[in-house]
Each structure stands twice: as structure tokens, then as C-alpha cells.
Amino acid sequence: MSAPITSTTAPGAARARRSGLLMVSPAMLLMALFLILPFLLAFAMSFTNQRLVSPNPTQYVGLDNYRQILGLGVLTLQPEKDAQGQVAHEADGSVQYPSLRTYTRDNPDYPHLNRMREWFHVGWTGDSRVYVLASDVIFMKALVNTVQFVVVVAPVQAFFALLLALLINQPLRGINIYRTIFFMPVVISMVVVAFLWRFIYAGDTGLLNSLLGHLTFGAFKPVDWLGQPGTALWAIMAMSVWQGVGFHMIVWLSGLQTISASLYEAAALEGASRWQVFRYVTWPGLRNTAILVMVVITMQAFTLYPQIDVMTRGGPLDSTQSLVFQAVQRGYGKQDIAGGSAISVFLFLFVLAISLGQRYLTREKK
Amino acid sequence: MTFRHTVSRRLVLAGLAACAASASYAQTTLSMWYHGAGNPTEKDLMAGIIKDFNGSQKQWKVELQQFPQEAYNTSVVAAAVAGKLPDILDVDGPVMPNWAWSKYLQPLTLPPAAISKFLPGTIGKYNGKVYSVGLWDAACAMFARKSVLQANNIRIPTLDKPWTKAEFDAALVTLQKSGKFQYPIDLGLAWKGEWYSYAFGPFLQSTGGDLLNASVPKANGTLNGKAGLEFGNWWQSLFTRKLTPGTSQDGADRETGFLDGKYALQWNGNWAALPALKKFGDDLVFLPAPDFGKGPKIGAASWQFGVSASTKNAQGANAFIAFALKDKYLAAFSDGIGLVPSTPEAAAMTKNYAKGGPMEVFFALSAKQATLRASTPGYAAASGEFEKALSDIANGGKVADALDNAADAIDADLKKNNNYR
Amino acid sequence: MSRSLMPSLAAKALNYTLLTWIALVFIFPIVFMVVSSLKPDLQLLQDASSVRAFLPVGDISFDNYRAAFQRVPIGHFIFNSVMVTAITMVLSLAVCSMAAFAFVFLEFPGKSVLLAVVLATFIVPFESIAIPLLLVVNNLPWIGDQGLTVGWLNSYHVQIIPFISDALTIFLFVQYFRDLPRELVEAARVDGAGYFQIYRRVILPLAGPVFATAAILKFLAMYNQYLWPVMAAQSEDYRPIMVGLQYFFQLNIAWGEMMAYLTVITVPVLLFYLSLQRAFIASIASTGVKG
């Protein structure tokens, strides 16, 4: 927060205090009642076994819900040996390891790993292999996917939005038509957009496959964009950028328009190149807008949900699970509102930590 | 509490108003929720029954509120959380035990004769009591073309002698080899959610497994038991052998693929029969479910009517449901929206399911092959896990792992809910 | 400044080409939507895999529109949505801009903590507080035509009041106000103006662009509401358009009608955006923030 205009010791300070409190109170009261109170209720629920539908009484379960989503374990396995003591191989030639099931399903020697599942494994010294197990692999995948989505979508979308804003900020005839067109995807709800894009991404004869086929004169082999673990999340990212970029273009544009025209005139008089104008006039003037755009995109990206629900429901093979999708899936689908709340609380704390970091990095240098 | 006061005061006010309007009698309004918003035919049919009922007596007056199907369950759960359920509501068959257990619904008090002739799939029982009754059932069948089967020398199965698993599998391979189709069969994986357990759960049951053993209740040992693995492996082989499109199937292909000749066979419900009949006419046949070893089975139980537990007018609500169960309404619904009527008498009155009607076979399928889904409040959670397991297996996940995970998740849900006791 | 005419023309042509290509990328799914709304279902699905998807060819008619209007009380739903959206938006802009003004220009106890809390709420996905919020509104009193009642369900206000104050709107205003010259406020103080007057007379006239941006965002968020109305507005009387969309998801989806419905419900938003865009440009011109 930069310095306020009235210091606390100035004569008008009491009045500023009174007016300030009066002016924030409507917003704060509404927010307390309709956002913070429900969130606190959800927070409280995450420590119970509260269900969406149930005649049974709710019980306090402490950190169980958090233990369930965050539990991790490690197991190192040696390869199977055949009768001659040689390392055994699978049919496809890879080294054969004992089945994880024998360790994680009711094995009395490994009670801490019971019901855990493989999240991923890494090769270790020699032929041994280290398995990282999680009590909730789907949650872990949702976490990783969500972070990946944010890390890709936030900068890409912000960059393209700025590019479009600069293009659209030129004094060209008919520019309003383009501005409207670029903005159009934004006005259509994400649910609807996701529906339309299912046609575009369709496996055999989808629009995208047909187009790529034509452009490469048939050399392009159709790809099942949403049906493969390797492409599904990327396809969703591309669509999300497409849908959201127009809005952030407008935000950049409103930032661009607060930059005084006299600065540009001065730059022109000094014979600055286009890049110099951008670097020394435009970009510094967009500082607050840049923070706004990045913060907003990041936060929105973390709540990735409707496109997942419409396009893939977390599949194939959990490659598009997201935290909010899992929170909804548990809270409503499995009627486990406590488990869903725990994910929401985790997401909240996680993003809070990130945004505090972001704020620290983008703080105004004094 | 305060809410109750308001309601009772409203009722008093309403009562006073009614008295003022006509001093002769006091009519009680029954609110009713129905999932059919967006279907004009269904709306007219419901409105017709309600009009008849309201005109038939002077004590009760039913008022209808319609919801789109996709939003209906959420709306009902929200209303239940808020303590504001209507007097009468409809409920999807497999969900009913969950709502009965959580005391959204109360047992019906219909005279036994009223439903004695109903198809078993149309009667919702939980803990030995009838909680809901449906005016219709839905049935699945294998859509096929006689000409295609004959051209490939594939036996046309009958209700008495359905395909065995081996025969079915061989038929798929033969059709694939014919080279005339993109895929030999369309299972409809484009449809997410409940479709999986409705359409494929019976295949698992026919193999000898189930989503869970409802009597214990426990999924481990049943879903991931021997039969479960056998079914899972076969299921995966459908996709590795490219016999059927996978989970990313386009919704459009699901609807037009069979009609366009992309697919040779299609596993679908009777609601899709009319467009196919229109396209292929006499060439079209509806084949019964294959027998995977323990007898051929298809899913049963569609939408049914029930009475909310919180209603003060249970008597009126039951009276309305009993009134709606007349054969003429069953037949009207069937004619209107193409579903299987609940009684043989009603079937005889319909144009599609009467003797010699184009969809007569579906009534026989419902009567002969229909298998109730596990009647447990845990079904809602189990169904979701089953869907995930089948999707993962279809996408190349390890069969045993996918089934283990689903069984674990179902058992964890059972434990969390104290086994739904 | 002294550029010759030729390169400028070439630059313009290049600009237009670039803009047009980008425009195609943004418009094609929408063209698909509109064109599809004119076709019968079967043809629509068959066309969907080729260039025909974008061309109004074959069996073209407005039948889908007629059927869609029959299936859904579109006019009523649009009225509900527009009313709920407009009221929420106006109240939200007033309440949030005022709070942002105080956050930026005034000093009062607990200010930084409050602002931090406000920003943090931005992270809470609505889906995760929907059930608790339902419990909250179900216990709130209301005075209406039936006197004092408890519980807000099934009404317009249950769709409006909880959404007036939100972090994003406050944040948008805060960021914008921070860029405004502080001397404006100080000068007005010297002239003896009260803070509310300064907010109304000095700051608001300068805030055109941010009002436009915040209004668009709020409009979209409200217009696309789905989960909350499903839970809180049980009768058709109060149902908004996004719930109406579900009317088309029958056993066999009515694709063509759905596309018609989508086209119809998209029009009000585009109109709203276009009107704001004009106001937006006008406000910039008049305030002299930028020529």
C-alpha cells in the first residue's frame, strides 16, 4: 500500500478514519456473511466426516481428511530374480519387479503403506527402483495438473492478451469490429465453449484433424486430442487460453489508455523506435495492470473446473484431473462434503502461499 | 423451527383465502417435483394426469414444478439440506435407496393390488418396503441390421438363446474383418456418468460379479474378484483390439454413427429405437444382451414416483401416485416418449409395445433380462467408481489396479457412512 | 513522424491481414454455433467434421429457434438473468468502488488486514462454499409481500445479494485508483469537500475504463451462473438462462435447438459489451486521461 494522503496525526485523520470505515463496511459486511462465513463453515467441515446426504450424526475426525489426501510413502524394490538368480524380465524386455499389490494390500509387514498406490517411481542405484506411494494418487495428480495448467496458461494468456491489446490499440478504421470479435469467446460461458470445442477436438473426423489434414495434404495422422493422456491437458489449455485471452486484452487495453498521450508525443519527438516506446513508455505505465492481469489469471487458472467437467471428467487415466474438479466430484458426486472441503481448504492455503510470494516478488521497490 | 412457523402461517393464510373463496371445502395443495423440464411431450402428459387428478376429487390439488434432468438431483439435495422438499417427487431408480436411507422419502402406502402387475424394474424397494413406483421402465438392447449379420454369417440370437460371450466376441471380430465398418460395435462411451453402470454393470453381473456385495456390504472380493477380473480383461481387450470407440468418442458419433453405417452394432436404450427404426425399417433388429456365463442381463429401473418424508400430506401424495398408475397413463407415457410401459395391459394399449408392435421385444427384454442394480444407498458412490474403473481400463490402465482402486474407494465410502445403516 | 505514404499503407495492409487471421481464429467456433442453429440435428452432426460446419448449406431453416422457444420459456429466463445480473452489477460496482476508494485514499484501522482478507477470498472456488452458503441464506430473514419470513430460497434476492461484494471487483478498482494522481483528492480536501463527495465528484468521473471492465466481468460472472440457481431457485419463475440450457440435454441431445438457444442467449451479452465499449471510449475521451 503506498502512502495515504492523510497521515494519522493530521487534523483530518479522525474524519478519514470514520469515512474510511463507513465506506468499506457495506462491502465488508456482505463479504463476511456470504463468503467468509461459508468458507469458515467449510473449513470446520473439513475436520469432520460431514456428508452431503446422510441421516448419521456428524463426527469430529481431526486431520483424517487431510491425512487422506496428503499421505505419502516410499518403497524401494529389488527386481525379481528367476530360478538361476538372474534378473527377471517382462515379456517386453523391461526389468520385472514384484507386484506392488503384495506390499500395499493388507500386508502386515507394511502397515504404513496399506491401501497406498503408486504415484510415480524412479530408477535408483543398480536395478532397484524407488516407488513414491500416495494414499490419494488422484489428488496428487490433480495437484500436479493444476499447477501445470497455471504455469502454462497464466504467462501464455497474459502475453497473447498484451499482444492483442497493442494490435487493437492502433488508430485503424474498423478496429472496433476486431476488438469485438476477439472478445466474443469471453461472452460465451465456459461450459458452452467447452461443448463447441469437443467438436473441434473430436478424434477421427474432428474439425482440427480435418484442418491439419488439409494443410498437410493428408500427411497428418488424426490425433484423438482429448482421448490421450499425452494431449488432453494441452488441448484443454489451448482452449482455455483462446476463451480467456479476450477479456485480459480488454484489461490491458484499459491500462494502455491510462498512459498519457503526452508521453508518446515526447517519445516521438525524440525519435524513439517502436520497441523503445514500448520498453520505456508503455511497459512502465502498465505496471499495475500487469500485476492485476497476472494475479487474476493465476487465481482463475487455479480454479480450473468447468472445461474439465464438460470435456474429459478428469480422464483419460487421470491426466486432466484438477483440484476443483476433485473437490466437486467428492463433495457432490460421492456426497463426501468433508473430503471436498478439505481439498478446497488445501487449495486456498496453497494459492494463498503462492500469491503472497507473487506479491513479494512484484512489490513496489521503495 | 421458524421456517415451520412460517409455513404453518402460510397454510393458515392459504386456508383462510380458500375459505373466503368458497366456503364449502378446504383444498390442500400438494407440491410435486418432476425431472422432465425441456421435454414438451412429457410436460403435457404430466399436466394431463394432474388435471385429471385435480378434477377427480376436491381434497387435494397438485401443483407441478419441473426441473431439467441434469440439474434435478442437485436441486433435490439442496432442498433437502434446506428442509424444503416438496410433497411428491420423482427419483431415479438406483438413487432411491440413498434417498430412502437419508430420510428424504417415506414408504408408499399403496394398496398391494395397485402394483401387482408391474414389471419388477419399476418398483423401488428398500429394506423390504416399497418407496417408489415407475410408470415405465427403460431397456437396453443390441441394435443390429439383419442384412449385415446375415452377410457375415452371424447367427441372429433370440431371447431364449442369446449369444454366448464367445459367440458375441467372435461376431465382433468377424465384423471387424469385414472391413466395412470403422468399429464393429458402439458401446456409447461418449455418454458419461450413470450410463456406465446402467449399461455395463449388467455385463459384469452376467459374468458373475457386481459393483459390490450389498448384503455385507463390501466391494473388495466382488468387484475385483475373479469374475471382475475376467470381465475387466475382456473389457480392455475390446479397446486394445479396436473393436469399439474409446472414452473420447464424440457425442455426435454416438448419435449418428450407427445410422451412418460407421458402426455395425450399437448397445443402446429403447429411447433411441425410433430414429433407428425410421432409418432401417424392417432390417433393424433389437438383440438381447449376450450371456457372459451367468445368464443374460440388462439394467432396470428408470424414474419413479415417491413421497417425501417431510410432507404433512402423505395421504394425498399416495392418492395421487395411485391415481397416476392407471394403465391409460402408462400407455400414454409410452406412446409419448417411447419408454417401456410398466404393465402388460398398458403395453397392449401402446402402438410400439403391443403384440406385433415394432418395439414389442423391449417389453420382453424388460420382463426377462432386467436386473436391478445393487439396492443400496452406497450405489451413488459405487456407480461413480465403477465408471472411473471402466474408463481407466479402456484407456489402458492395469485391470487389477483399476478394479482394486474402485473397490477400495467403494469400501472407504461404505466405512465413512457406517455401512449405510 | 515524417513517414512516407507507401510504407504506412503497407503497414496498414499487414496490420489488417494479421488482424483478420486472428479474427478467424476467434470467430470460427461461434460461426459454427450460429450456422448449426439453422440445421436439422442429423445434418448438423454430419457437417461437423468438414468445412460445411461453417456454411449455411443444405436444409436451412429457423425451425430450431421455433422449437427452442417452445421447449424453454426463453423470454422469461432471459428476463430473469438480465434482471438479476443488472441489479447485482449496479450494486456491486457502487459498493466495491466505494470500498476500493477507501482502501486506496483513506487511512483507517485494520485497513491492510481487511484488504489482505478481501484478496484472499478471491481464491475460494464457489463450488466449495455452495452448500455452507445455502445453509446461511436458508436462515436469513426477509421482509416481503408475505411479511417476515425466514429463508431466502426460491427468489430473486437469493441470487443477487450474496454476489454484490466480491474480491475481484474490489481488486480491479484498487489497482486502477492507485494509478490516479493523489493531488486530485488532496486539492478537493483543501476545498473542503467530504470524502464521499470526493469519491463521487472527483474519482468516479475518472474511473470510466475500470467501471467498464468491472461491469463486463461482473455481467459475465452473473449471466453464466449455474450451480447456485440450481440449488437456490427451485421454481421456473426465478430460473436463469444457464439452467435453461440443461433443458436441451434430453436422452438424445437436441443439438440444433441447443445451438439456437446459445445463439439467442449470447446476443444480450454482445449487445451489453458493445454498448459498454462505446461508453468506455467516450469516457476516456471526456476525462482527458488519454486523448
Q: Give the nearest chain C residue to B72 (CA atoms).
A: C230
Q: Which residue, among A188, A146, A179, A160, has the nearest Cα to A300 in the 3D structure?
A: A146
Instruction: Find, among B105, B98, B94, B100, the residue nearest to B33 by Cα.
Output: B105
Largest CA distance in chain C: 75
CB-based contact C134:C231 (threshold 8 Å): yes
Query: Is the CB of B411 inside 8 Å of chain A's CB atoms?
Result: no
Q: How far is C237 from chain A (nearest CA, A)?
A: 22
Q: Which of B66, B71, B259 sits opposite C236 (nearest CB)?
A: B66
Chains touching C, CB cut-off 8 Å, 3+ pairs? A, B
**Interval A25-64: pLDDT, tens:** 999 999 999 999 999 999 999 999 988 888 888 889 999 9
Which chain C residue is nearest to residue B44, measuring alpha carbons? C71
Lowest mean pLDDT among A257-261, A302-306, B335-339, C100-104: A257-261
Number of H helices, E strands in chain C: 14, 2
Mean pLDDT of chain B: 89
* C132 vs C48, higher pLDDT: C132
Nearest Cα residue in chain B from C73: B38
CB atoms within 10 A of CB A108: 6
Q: Is A196 an 8 Å CB contact of chain B?
A: no
CA C204 vs CA A287, C59, C210, C284: distances in Å: 22, 53, 10, 12
Cβ contacts of A334 on chain B, cutoff 8 Å: 380-381, 384, 413
Per DSSP, the three-state class of B117 is coil
C144 touches chain B (CB under 8 A): no
Q: Give the residue-averaged pLDDT of B223-236.
A: 96
Any idea which of A15-19, A304-308, C287-291 has the lowest mean pLDDT?
C287-291
Q: What are the tens digits of pLDDT across the range B41-99? A: 888 999 999 999 999 999 999 999 999 988 899 999 999 999 999 999 999 998 999 99
CB contact under 8 A, A254 and C115: no
CB contact under 8 A, C250 and B255: no
Burial A342-361 (b: 16+ CB within 10 A, else e): bbbbbbbebbeebbeebeee
Residue C180 grid coordinates: 490516479
DSSP state of A48: B
Q: Would you state the cell numbers that stand for residue C107, as one nine-digit string?
A: 487511512
Q: Which residues 268-287 in chain C show a CB within 8 A of chain B?
A: none
C100 to chain A: nearest residue by CA? A24
Q: Which of residues 305-364 of B touch A (CB under 8 A)?
A: none
B253–A202 CB contact, under 8 Å:
yes
Phi/psi for C151 (5° steps) reads: 100, 130
Tens-digit pLDDT profile for residues C143-197: 888 888 888 999 999 999 999 999 999 998 998 898 888 888 888 888 888 899 9
Nearest to B40 among C71, C232, C253 (CB): C71
Task: Mention every residue, 6+ apart, whose C-beta is less than 8 A from residue C212.
Answer: A254, C276, C277, C279, C280, C283
- The whole-number pLDDT of residue B25 equals 59
Q: What pLDDT does B395 receive? A: 93
- Give the containing element (helix H, strand E) for B121: none
Highest mean pLDDT of the ranges A211-215, A272-276, B107-111: B107-111
Residue C260: pLDDT above 50?
A: yes
**For A205, which residue in chain C has the nearest alpha carbon?**
C49
Which tens digit of pLDDT belongs to each residue from B53-62?
999 999 999 9
Partner-chain residue, chosen from A54, A226, A229, that has the shortest CB–CB distance to B417: A54
Residue of B nearest to A224 (CA): B248
Q: Residue C282: its pLDDT value, please?
A: 65
Q: What pTM value is reported for the model?
A: 0.88
**Is any Cβ of chain B less than 8 angstroms from the Cβ of A92?**
no
Chain A and chain B share a number of CB contacts under 8 A equal to 83
Asked if the Cβ–Cβ distance from C32 to A199 is below 8 Å, we say yes
Give the pLDDT band of residue C46 (cuts 50, 70, 90): confident
- Whether residues B256 and C131 touch (CB distance < 8 A) is answered with no
Q: Are B115 and B130 in contact (CB under 8 A)?
A: yes
pLDDT at B6: 43
Residue B193: closest CA among B39, B338, B70, B100: B70
Cα–Cα distance, C35 to C38 (Å, whole number): 6
Q: How confident is the model at residue B198 (pLDDT cuts 50, 70, 90)?
A: very high
Q: What does the pLDDT read at residue C85?
A: 96
Cβ partners under 8 Å of residue B388, min gap 6 = A314, A315, B402, B405, B406
A229: preceding bond cis by omega (within 30 degrees): no
Residue A257's pLDDT is what? 78
Q: Chains A, C: CB contacts under 8 A, how many?
A: 281
**Percent over 70 (pLDDT), chain B:** 94
Which of A4-8, B227-231, B240-244, C175-179 is least confident? A4-8
Confidence of residue B18 (pLDDT cuts 50, 70, 90): very low
- Chain centroid to Cα B147, Å, comes to 31
User: Buried (b) or exposed (e) across B398-417, using 16+ Cβ within 10 A?
Assistant: ebbbbbbbbbbbbbbbbebb
Amino acid of residue B379: Y
**Cβ(B115)–Cβ(B345) under 8 Å?**
no
Q: What is the nearest CA distance from C18 to chain B, expressed in angstroms?
A: 33
Residue B90 C-alpha, separation from nearest chain C C-alpha, in angstroms: 15
Looking up cell 470381465 gives B231
Residue C7, pLDDT > 60, answer no
Kind and range of the H or E element at B207? Answer: helix B201-207
Which of B209, B235, B189 lies closest to B410 in space, CA to CA? B209
CA dihedral (B5, B9, B12, B14) in degrees, to 10, reads: -130
More confident site: C183 or B4: C183
Provide the Cα torsion A55, A61, A63, A68; round to 10°.
-60
A359 — alpha (psi -120 to 50), left (phi > 0) or beta?
alpha
Question: Which of these, A321, A309, A358, lies nearest to A148 by C-alpha position?
Answer: A321
Give the pLDDT score at C283. 63
- Between CA B383 and CA B378 the distance in angstroms is 9
Query: What pLDDT does residue B342 have?
Result: 94
Residue B181 pLDDT > 90, yes or no? Answer: yes
Q: Which three cell numbers stand for residue B418?
A: 457406517
End-to-end CA distance of chain C: 18
